[in-house]
Amino acid sequence: MARKGLLERKVEGAISPSQKFEADASINIVKPEKKQKNQFKNQKVTLKISDEIKTSLEAIKVLHKLKFDYEAIQFLIDDFTQNLSADEKRRYSVLKDNL
């Protein structure tokens, strides 16, 4: 248990100030900003998929010589939207913009 007055004890040879320090109001104290990790637009979301879908995605990547998963997914989306009717394309674009 801490003894009473432990923080207030005087050390021999300590100099007590004759004047208290007061910071000037004109001095602006600037706190350093926290650095945020750069998030790229294509790295905002993580998708969890089954092993079977992952295997199918890998096969599509090999067939079309794609390097990244997002490229294969974009290829599938582009292929899907090409086969839509004009009305379905309109609905798709409205949904995509509003989600």
Query: Span 6-10, mean pLDDT?
Result: 64
The token pair at 64 is 């079309």
pLDDT of 89 higher than 80? yes
Contact in structure between 64 and 80 (CB atoms under 8 Å): no
Of residues 82, 83, 60, the one with CA closest to residue 71: 60
**Residues 46-66 pLDDT 10s:** 889 999 999 999 999 999 999
pTM of the predicted structure, to 2 decimals: 0.53
Coil, strand or helix: which one is 64? coil
